[in-house]
């Protein structure tokens, strides 16, 4: 095993060193060897992939009725204590799946206490870890956090279940989506939201390139990809989500380290952000303190790689990053069912 690891490191170093001399076909092959993985264009392959990486898929398979139910719950502000905030508030599907502000703001207009920036919900199903500290690897369990957090939606599991059960149309939809004798509980509500989130996938021209279409990227984007590999960005930003795993972060070299108190987990490890749709998801980094791709690319080279990039190199890498802007799924805003006389009223706590 030890010698295999050494061999792999030598091969990776050789690929990075020779990357600028490769043909388009060789670039595709090398990118895949470095674990840059396309979103499958074949819908059956894609569903099989989602099945294999979703911890609750066997218990809660994806169906159209569950997707539509989960979509309503995702957009329903009544899931919050105030009746104002929905999942879509911080993960706005019209804004690249983010809220576009430095520190996400929730109940009573409270900013996140650690000045944390909401990551995109698009392609989150592909993340090996959820939350900035990587404490969850599961869309269903991730959904439970904001629903109950005092500075986010500030609800409780008991209130959420009571609200859903007080709305006859929701009760009927849960029965149709699952079974007539289903017991609607907090786990099932969160699972339904996660099932909808499984569908929020954005294949891009980069995926077409990795699948063999050498004309899917411009020459500048291909040069940017080569720089992305040669400079070492690919060592953390890889996999199908071009990020989403768990790595150390150079907090001591980060110029905005004092914005908030987040320092990762106990080992200063942080979820690596996905670079998919990164051109649409400013501000950047865990505390949302960087607003341009130019500064983001320059900062990561300095903080993580201890190198300085030229203006031309930054420009080319950004051209590549823009190839990761994908085709957004068409989302029709749902009509939500009416509350009943028994539905818990909004509590603004002002």
Q: Which residues are catalytic?
A: 152
Sorted by sequence, the CB contacts under 8 Å of residue 64 that are 6+ apart come out as none
- Residue pair 116/104 in contact (Cβ under 8 Å)? The answer is yes
Burial class (CB in 10 A: 0-12, 13-18, 19+), 266: exposed
**CA 56, 88, 46, 286 torsion: positive or negative?**
negative
Q: Which long-range contacts (CB under 8 A, 24 or more apart) does 178-181 make?
A: 178/66
SS3 95: coil
- How far apart are alpha carbons 75 and 193 in whole angstroms? 10
Is residue 89 within 8 A of residue 147, CB to CB? The reply is no
Spatial separation of the C-alpha atoms in residues 128 and 239, rounded to whole Å: 9
Q: Which two tokens stand for residue 165?
A: 């059960």
* Burial tier of 58 (Cβ tally within 10 Å: 0-12, 13-18, 19+): exposed
């Amino acid at each position: 095993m030890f010698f295999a690891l050494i061999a792999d490191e030598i091969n990776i170093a050789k690929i990075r060193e020779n990357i600028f001399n490769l043909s388009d076909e060789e670039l595709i092959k090398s990118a895949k060897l470095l674990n840059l993985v396309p979103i499958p264009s074949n819908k059956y392959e894609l569903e099989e992939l989602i099945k294999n990486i979703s911890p609750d898929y066997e218990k809660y398979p994806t169906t159209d009725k569950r997707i539509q139910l989960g979509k309503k719950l995702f957009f329903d502000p009544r899931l919050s204590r105030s009746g104002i905030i929905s999942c879509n508030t911080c993960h706005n599907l019209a804004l690249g799946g983010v809220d576009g502000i430095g520190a996400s703001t929730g109940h009573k207009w409270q900013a996140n206490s650690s000045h944390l920036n909401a990551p995109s919900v698009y392609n989150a199903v592909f993340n090996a870890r959820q939350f900035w500290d990587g404490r969850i690897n599961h869309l269903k369990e991730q959904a439970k956090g904001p629903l109950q957090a005092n500075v986010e939606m500030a609800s409780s599991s008991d209130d959420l279940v009571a609200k859903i059960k007080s709305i006859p149309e929701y009760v009927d939809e849960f029965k149709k989506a699952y079974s007539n004798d289903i017991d609607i509980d907090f786990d099932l509500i969160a699972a339904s939201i996660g099932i909808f989130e499984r569908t929020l996938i954005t294949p891009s021209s980069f995926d077409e390139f990795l699948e063999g279409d050498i004309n899917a990227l411009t020459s500048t984007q291909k040069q940017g990809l080569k720089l992305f590999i040669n400079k070492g960005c690919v060592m953390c930003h890889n996999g199908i989500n071009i990020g989403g795993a768990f790595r150390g972060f150079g907090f001591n070299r980060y110029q905005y380290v004092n914005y908030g108190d987040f320092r990762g987990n106990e080992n200063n490890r942080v979820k690596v952000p996905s670079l998919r749709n990164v051109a649409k998801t400013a501000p950047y980094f865990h505390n949302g303190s960087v607003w341009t791709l130019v500064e983001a690319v320059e900062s990561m080279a300095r903080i993580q790689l201890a190198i300085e990039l030229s203006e031309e190199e930054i420009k080319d890498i950004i051209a590549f990053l823009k190839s990761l802007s994908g085709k957004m799924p068409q989302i029709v805003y749902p009509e939500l069912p009416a509350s009943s006389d028994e539905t818990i009223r909004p509590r603004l706590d002002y």
